[in-house]
Amino acid sequence: MKNKLVNCTWLIVNSSKLLGILLCAMSYLLFTIPAQAASLIISPPRIDLEGKPGDTLQQTIKVTNSGDKDITISAKVFDFIVQDNSGTPVRITTSASGRYLASPWFILSRADFTLAPQQTESIVAIIEIPSSALPGGHYAGVYFLPVVNTQLDSTGAVVTPEIGSLFGITIAGDIQYDALIKDFSVKNQVFEFGPIDFTAIIENQSDTHISPKSTITIHDTLGRQVAELPLEDVNIFPFTSRTLSGTWETVWGLGRYTATLSAAYGPSDLVASHTISFWIMPYRLLAAIGVILLVLLAIFISVRRHLLHRADHRDDEIDELKRKITEMENRQN
């Protein structure tokens, strides 16, 4: 019975070791593959172009292999749109791109090529704008799909995520520009101290993307400008919104303040603006100062009363002394 127990214990211990070895092997396979995956650098990552129907545009894209292995790359062009408040591009099909269609206009100088470690290759994108192109924004991306040759699986390849250059092409014509500030706010209406964080949402209602120059101007109770905060310049896709944030790095303040967000956009510098107000009221500090003032006032009143009481007492003593002097004079007479 004792031998059976020993054998069972040995089996459990060795099974645990075997399980640990298997888990380590799985962890190695899972976490070392991305480390050996291709590393590409694309320049420039975002490109804004302008043209007219019938024009031919040209743009060079540089692709660099920053890894330590050869990479075979396939370049493809896809249309994209933006749907969230962070400006994240979403790849779509040609049929779903609608009026923002641009991918059929692209011709790439090279579609497939291999990069040695630390090698940079230039790809030329030729954009032939059709005469029927609608005025406004059109959007496509040149995506690069690398494949890293390894010996980690039977196929000998590990596919890595796509990266690329995003093109925003504005076609000249009757373009309507409009934008509005959907929200501009602070976390609280009353602050004890700074800093003050601002959040804004700007919606683009134009026919093309815009990159508004946004600034927050802050005035104090007396109307004096106390700060001007430039916000990040971002591209806003047509009929989408972007969320911006800024911080007024102040500590002290007192009273009511106004903050005005101004966003200039479009070729003629149209401006969307919105104003809010907030208070900075260091109530605990004010309460402490109030208590100190009350204590000082109480001490002042107490001292004053004491001095007045002493003055009254001295007057009584003087009167008593005068009375005694008068009595002595009367006795002498």
165 lies in the same domain as 192: no
- Alpha-carbon span 272 to 60, nearest angstrom: 35
Does residue 320 sit within a domain?
A: no
More confident of the two residues 264 and 147: 264
Name the residue range of residue 266's domain: 179-283
Q: Is the peptide bond before 195 cis (omega within 30 degrees of 0)?
A: yes
118 lies in the same domain as 217: no
DSSP string, 195-250: -EEEEEEEEE-SSS-B--EEEEEEE-TTS-EEEEEEPPP--B-TT-EEEEEEEE--
85 lies in the same domain as 23: no
Find out whether 289 and 238 touch, Cβ atoms under 8 Å: no
Number of domains in the chain: 3
Two tokens at 115? 């990069």
User: What is the mean predicted confidence (pLDDT) over 112-132?
Assistant: 94
118 lies in the same domain as 75: yes
Two tokens at 199? 């959040």
61 lies in the same domain as 148: yes
* Strand residues in the chain grouped as ranges (E): 40-43, 46-51, 56-65, 71-82, 89-92, 106-108, 112-115, 120-128, 136-149, 157-159, 163-171, 179-186, 190-191, 196-204, 213-219, 225-230, 241-248, 255-265, 270-280
Does residue 289 sit within a domain?
A: no
Q: What is the pLDDT of residues 270-307, one digit of tens each?
A: 999 999 999 999 878 777 888 888 888 888 888 888 77
Does residue 130 sit within a domain?
A: yes
167 lies in the same domain as 183: no
Does residue 143 sit within a domain?
A: yes
Confidence at 259, pLDDT banded by 50, 70, 90: very high
Q: What is the pLDDT of residues 126-154, one digit of tens each?
A: 999 999 999 999 999 999 987 654 444 44
Q: How many residues does the chain have?
A: 333
Q: Which of 243, 262, 283 is the last residue of a domain?
A: 283
166 lies in the same domain as 185: no
- Alpha-carbon span 148 to 294, nearest angstrom: 77
- Alpha-carbon span 328 to 303, nearest angstrom: 37
183 lies in the same domain as 157: no
* CATH code, 163: 2.60.40.10
Does residue 294 sit within a domain?
A: no
Q: What is the pLDDT of residues 8-30, one digit of tens each?
A: 444 434 444 443 443 333 333 33
Q: Is the model's pTM score more than 0.85?
A: no
User: What is the mean predicted confidence (pLDDT) over 111-129?
Assistant: 94
Confidence at 169, pLDDT banded by 50, 70, 90: very high
